[in-house]
Chains A and B, each alone.
Chain A
Amino acid sequence: MTDLADLYQQVILDHNRNPRNFGPLAGATCQAQGHNPLCGDRVTVFARVSGPTIEEVAFQGSGCAISKAAASMMTTLVKGRSVAEVEALATRFHSMVTSDPNVPVEAADLGKLAAFAGVRAFPTRVKCATLPWHALRAVIRGAGEPVSTE
């Protein structure tokens, strides 16, 4: 049962119940959709990018607790950061959730995102955690097309 408690940590349940930056973003300069065809999760990420900086970010959609919490926490972490920093963070997050579940994560360079380490024990749920990050990447790369985890 410890696996389950690791997966559904309080911080994740909290973001699921009270998602931050949830809803459309007025004045968004770009948006992208993420879709996980396996389970039907859909997320739209909106951003207002000014020069190299992500000034505002928000998301909307329906999905499981993992994808919703991942999207919510993501929005709180990337606001005000540069596009380059966010790209690097997305890469670190992706490598972390796809890493060996038996190796402890380096919490230092992940901060709050370390809460998602629990998904490593649930291979079918990894895509739930990465879905909003895929969408965010599409947004900041200016590829406003729907993105898919497939």
Chain B
Amino acid sequence: MKRSPAVAERPATRSGFDVEAVRRDFPILQTNVRGKPLVYLDSGATSQKPQAVIDTISRFYEAENANIHRGVYYLSERATLAHEAARVRIQRALNARDPGEIIFVRGTTEAINLVAYSFVRPALRPGDEILVSAMEHHSNIVPWQLVAGEQGARIRVIPMNDRGELLMDELPALIGPKTSMVAVTHVSNALGTVNPIEEIVAMAHARGVPVLVDGAQAVPHGPVDVQRLGCDFYAFSGHKAFGPTGIGVLYGRAERLAGMQPFQGGGDMIRSVTFEHTEYADPPARFEAGTPDISGAIGLAAAFDYVESIGWDVLKPHEADLMQYATGVLEAIPGVRLIGTAGHKAAVVSFVLDGVHPHDLGTILDQEGVAIRAGHHCAQPVMDRFGIPATARASLAFYNNRQDVDALAAAVTRARKVFAG
């Protein structure tokens, strides 16, 4: 049988998805590290950026830069339009009802802090409870602790099993009249678990409790529909979703946002100011004091455009295939134990290697050009739950291929040899 050389060079997956073509869209994936081609398996920390996003940001600074909501001149009008178009772009991506439900922030961390300070704190009473899950990133724990501590409220925790799945049976008993907020992650950054958000929202709403979802690790791996999830707030970071650093999004349901206090004071968030009194602007402007990250918002919209141009319908199967491959390859290495084996997982393979500390593993892998994260992944309670100080974590994105996984496996095997002495 005759094979076309083009096919032999770039094997496409069953779905016809050409990962090599996608890789060429990401300039950094063409670079070498320590003389070896970069194998980037730390997208959970931050994603790489496609040329389209880089170009959009450059173009903005080269030809469109001006402050927004201020000038009456051409450039300022254009910048304002582009910034608001980005908001609409993200509204559409999340299927929010209204662009006013999209608040631009610095990232997930700022989004959660905004909700903690402007929504939860004013209503919090001594003895109240904020319910989080056992697999939260520190950024979905510490803001709640800060406001709870001030008001004499406390944090309660939805436990998980040894596979890293939330014990949903315990949820009804944990949400009661004292619960002021449920804050859970959509996808765990340390374990990869995908949580049943719709179910959690249904249980919380049945008891009149609002829900915030930390979507930092979900948005980079599939479409998110905030209306279908039903949550009150949804937070994510642009930099993990192929956009630039410095920009993130808080989605808030209009009814919730309407009654909320501002988070920070300053320009752009007011209707009128005298020295005695300020009337605040409506959402989203009420929560966007000061000059925002204009190029960041536009760059993030370009990232959503880029992903849509390929389509989750082909990207998701590729990632699922890669996850399965990575899981199998790593499990086959003697001494490797996977941490996080939930039935429903995305993009993250966390593991420990017998006799080799994750930090040493990270260094040895780095010598091979393989970038992974070693540590507690800002989720110390998760490490405590599994009785380990740290894990090595390979986190995938749609631009990874099987060669990346093979390079990881080869480097892990090498690390075993170094430590076998």
Residues of chain A whose beta carbon lies under 8 Å from any beta carbon of chain B:
1, 3-4, 7-8, 10, 13-14, 16-17, 38-42, 62-66, 68, 122, 124-125, 128
A26 to B390, CA, bound (A): 29
A38 vs B359: C-alpha distance in the bound complex, in angstroms? 10
Note all chain B residues with C-beta closer than 8 A to A63.
357, 359, 389
**Contact partner, B374, options A7, A39, A68, Cβ 8 Å:** A39
Q: Which single member of A1, A13, A38, A124 contacts B367 (CB below 8 Å)?
A: A1
Chain B residues with CB under 8 A of A17: 355, 421
- The answer to whether A4 and B374 touch across the interface, beta carbons within 8 angstroms, is no
Structural contact, B389 and A41, CB atoms closer than 8 A = yes
Chain B residues whose CB sits within 8 angstroms of the CB of A38 once the complex forms: 375
- A66–B359 Cα distance when bound, in Å, is 9
Q: B357 contacts which of A1, A3, A14, A65 (Cβ < 8 Å)?
A: A65
Chain B residues, Cβ within 8 Å of A128: 359
Bound-state Cα–Cα, A63 to B359, Å: 8
**Across chains A and B, which 7 residue pairs bring their CB atoms closest together, nearest first?**
A64-B359, A64-B357, A40-B376, A40-B389, A39-B359, A62-B389, A40-B390
> Which residues in chain B, 344-360, are within 8 Å of chain A measured between CB atoms?
355-360
- A8 to chain B minimum Cβ distance, whole angstroms, is 6
Query: With A and B bound together, what is the CA distance between A121 and B278 in angstroms?
Result: 56
Contact B367 A3 (CB under 8 A): yes
What are 13 A-B contacts defined by CB distance under 8 Å? A1-B367, A4-B363, A4-B364, A14-B421, A38-B375, A40-B380, A63-B357, A63-B359, A63-B389, A64-B359, A65-B360, A66-B360, A122-B363
Tell me the smallest distance from the CB of A105 to a CB of chain B, in Å.
Answer: 20
Complex-state Cα separation, A38 to B357, whole angstroms: 14
Complex Cα–Cα for A117 and B419 (A):
19
Q: Which residue of A lies closest to B34 (CB)?
A: A3
Closest chain A residue, CB of each to CB of B374: A39
Known: A38-B375, A63-B357, A64-B359. 13 other contacts (CB 8 A): A1-B367, A4-B364, A4-B418, A8-B418, A13-B419, A13-B421, A40-B376, A40-B389, A40-B390, A41-B389, A66-B360, A122-B363, A124-B363
